Structure 1
């Protein structure tokens, strides 16, 4: 007696049943099935026909093409086992139960599980990939997963913007207080200051008497500060822990000037002499003694510069009206008389460096302290929200990298070739990277803001850069959610498609731009104020590309040299013609070409990559989820079955 297993010719979708169910009409023999392991019955997956008793020759093979057109191949049919009667050879220790492998592989015990495991692995991978590339609304429809990251990003936009506005209003008070005090100091300490700076310096003098008068005027004004100033100013100790002025002069070490034969002998070594004038010295009845000292006997042919430095302190009371704690400032003021050119014109520079410092023994009544505590609590909540967003986005990137690793391994095993770089980068969500950078900057900026609010830190500039840049990134990230709508997705796709070509084009155009910059600086620098240094030249040429201030650039060239004047005309005409009519037009044409390509793709379909072709086998979202949720159907983004946000453009 043997067991013959043959392919069941029936419906292809009929499920494969167990051996007992298929052979129910031989019920008495089924009682011996549990004893098969004891009888050393082996199950072999031979690629042969019905089982014959040992010693019986196998039947001849069927003629070629006999089974053609009879339905699906035997490898895809479920197997039906029938019991037959055969005469076993004597001395047989058991029965052979050969079963044809579904995968058509070699005989063995585990080949039946190879194909189902591979199908299950592929199906699981496709479902994970499809779910990963869904937008938040589609994920909710598929698994009813609440879009926590989406809600958190919307909340974070509101909170970060509110925080920035509050900090900006406070910073505006700080900046206005510094600027107003700088203008007041110039009027207080600079003699005959007109209120408008002449150039990068404040004013200038041309006679020796004007130099002495300007120096003594600044010293007397410092002495009478509390009697003449309108602000809340006071004296502050300098770096030597002394209250007063410090006057230093730089001059050549030795020098003689003979007027008889117009001879000038100068030793290029520089000496620096300083004198301290404290309040007691200035308040002395014999106040003219320090003025008549040899220190103020200046030899102008040796003199390089005179520097007067003094420190003041003040308090900003306007912040109280904004329910903010007042700030105390330390002003480090410097007046410089520059005679390095020895051109007969001494330029006077005034520089004021204001630093916020902790107020000593301040006592303020009212609700200001409580308002400060509320702001600190709000900043702490912003930090908590950004930290949560940072954790969620980092987790998503880690899971995406794991999914990428699974896909790369499966694709290599199945198709025997690696995945292209575009599909590799498809797993790295650039928006998450942008959110992570924004969150880190917001957390650091919020900590600095809390320290500034508590008057433990005074670095407004660094805090402004961090909070401003993070808010910029947060609002740029809103474009991602607008990209779920096809009509709003054109900007993202156009930038994505044109960016590589634009960068390559800018590299070539930048070489020409740098050439014009260096040429204009070296040739036109002595004759035109807009070409005096490289930074100014670059800014001037960029404004010319935009069509700004063209006539003034042509008109301000000095006509002292006909050759330079002719060169300036050739230089400016060639630059404007080349960059405006050719380079700028080509730049716009690149972006327009990318836009036309995107419009064509939106009408006819985008090119598919290996990853997208692999995902097409998964079917639509309807096959992945159950019944649609009525609560989410009110959102128009949930009605869309796909998004162009994750499509890869081929350029």
Structure 2
């Protein structure tokens, strides 16, 4: 009797162990089946609301709206810089026709033309306040003194050229001589320093005129943004390096924006700035929520993979292959988290720009643009839940390595064609004269 009791107890314990193993296996099956379901299937199975899907849709709308608002404001900033550069070229460059000739603005071919263009710059600079139609004026130092205009000429130390005798005697060492002029009396310096402006064109390499101006971008008021103050570093160069009889004149500007020190504005600009800051705060909150939900999904996926691997090892004494393991590691979640981090950084920079604490428009554009790109690419994941789109996505996924190999081979051919075209056609065609731009240069301009 005792043996029967022991046998029944042992059998009941064994059956209970088998029942527990079956329950664990079924639970694992259910979890695996549920993990690979689409959001709609998950809702129909367990009535669990697809929070991640809703957050992603809301995030796409908010980030895209934010990008459009910032892009419109950034467009005003870029247009202000470009139009200021064009205005300065029309003011300071004699005979400027409104369009740059190739990579330079104006070219002169006579000594008289060089002198006229040089003195034209000095004359225009001395009466800038009466010429410019925009809010731009001379820059000042910390003590309130006007920063001077600086004229530098660079020439060979010694040079004698006699083309008729096919003879020359040159010292290749360069010398630089500079003069500084008061902004309001710059036009008088050509008489006070006549020896400086007596140019030996055989020796002359270039003449550089540098000065600084300050301006305010008032057009942002129309978009209900606080205006920025700008410091323009202007450089005008008379390039005679080729000594070919053609002196090229360049005008380059380096605009640096900063927060105005003393400003006061009435109306709705300040109020709308507060509304934009509140909207940006909601964007950060939504991105944080999205990042937390995706991180949670990655953690749950890793735990499910550990359970699955342990089950295979204990029951079948086998290890899960790497291809099967990769199915648990969803790269879309990583993409979403990276886009969320970039969006948060870009939004913080945008808020600082709107509060006039920073002026890093380009850096902010990189973060916001990259995050928006990743957010929209992430939509492909949800298209994969539809059968027709899923076939296309699987085809792209399978063909991607082959496409990369094709691009590498095509890149080798392209590089060879580029260098060959540069050495053969470069000296005779304007599109390939620049060593830094090889294949169809200048934005495909004919």
CA distance in 1, matches of 2:392, 2:146: 62
Structure 2 residue corresponding to 1:230, chosen from 133, 141, 159: 133
Deviations along 1:472-522, whole A, 9 cap, x unmatched?
221222222222222333432221121122112222222222222222222
CA distance in 2, matches of 1:209, 1:541: 33
| 1:250-329 equivalence runs, <5 A | 250-257=154-161, 261-279=165-183, 281-282=185-186, 288-292=190-194, 294-329=195-230
CA shift for structure 1 position 316: 1.9
- The answer to whether the 8 A contact 2:125-2:184 is kept is no
Matched, 1:395 2:296: yes
CA shift for structure 1 position 189: 0.3
**Local SS of the residue matching 1:296:** coil
- The answer to whether the 8 A contact 1:324-1:372 is kept is yes
CA shift for structure 1 position 188: 0.2
CA shift for structure 1 position 167: 0.8
Residue 484 of structure 1: aligned partner: 385
CA shift for structure 1 position 447: 0.8
The alpha-carbon distance between structure 1 residues 290 and 122, as it changes in their structure 2 partners (threshold 3 A), is farther
Structure 2 residue corresponding to 1:445, chosen from 336, 341, 346: 346
CA distance in 2, matches of 1:297, 1:313: 32
- The answer to whether the 8 A contact 2:206-2:239 is kept is yes
**Local SS of the residue matching 2:124:** helix
Deviations along 1:354-396, whole A, 9 cap, x unmatched?
2211112111112221111111111111111111111111221
Matched, 1:351 2:252: yes
| 1:369-388 equivalence runs, <5 A | 369-388=270-289
CA distance in 2, matches of 1:114, 1:299: 104
The alpha-carbon distance between structure 1 residues 524 and 282, as it changes in their structure 2 partners (threshold 3 A), is closer
- The answer to whether the 8 A contact 1:237-1:244 is kept is no
The alpha-carbon distance between structure 1 residues 353 and 532, as it changes in their structure 2 partners (threshold 3 A), is same
CA distance in 1, matches of 2:251, 2:442: 31
**Local SS of the residue matching 1:344:** coil
**Local SS of the residue matching 1:366:** coil
Count of equivalent residues: 445
**Cα root mean square deviation, aligned:** 2.6
| 1:497-576 equivalence runs, <5 A | 497-533=398-434, 536-539=437-440
Residue 618 of structure 1: aligned partner: none
Structure 2: 5+ residue runs without aligned partners?
none
Deviations along 1:380-421, whole A, 9 cap, x unmatched?
111111111111112211221222233223323433333233
- The answer to whether the 8 A contact 2:138-2:146 is kept is no
CA distance in 2, matches of 1:221, 1:344: 26
CA shift for structure 1 position 242: 4.7
| 1:415-494 equivalence runs, <5 A | 415-494=316-395
Between 137-146 and 431-440, report the one with greater CA deviation.
137-146
**Local SS of the residue matching 1:264:** strand
**Local SS of the residue matching 1:297:** coil
> Scaled by the length of structure 1, what TM-score is found?
0.64
Structure 1 residue corresponding to 2:315, chosen from 394, 414, 418: 414
- The answer to whether the 8 A contact 1:325-1:368 is kept is yes
**Local SS of the residue matching 2:428:** coil
CA distance in 1, matches of 2:26, 2:169: 93
- The answer to whether the 8 A contact 1:238-1:311 is kept is no
Deviations along 1:297-334, whole A, 9 cap, x unmatched?
22222222111111111112222222221222211111
Matched, 1:247 2:151: yes
Residue 131 of structure 1: aligned partner: 34
CA shift for structure 1 position 261: 4.2
Residue 51 of structure 2: aligned partner: 148
The alpha-carbon distance between structure 1 residues 533 and 221, as it changes in their structure 2 partners (threshold 3 A), is closer
CA distance in 1, matches of 2:419, 2:190: 54
CA shift for structure 1 position 540: 6.0
Structure 1: 5+ residue runs without aligned partners?
6-18, 20-42, 46-80, 82-96, 103-109, 544-548, 553-651
Rg (Cα) greater in structure: 1
CA distance in 2, matches of 1:290, 1:377: 60
Residue 170 of structure 1: aligned partner: 73
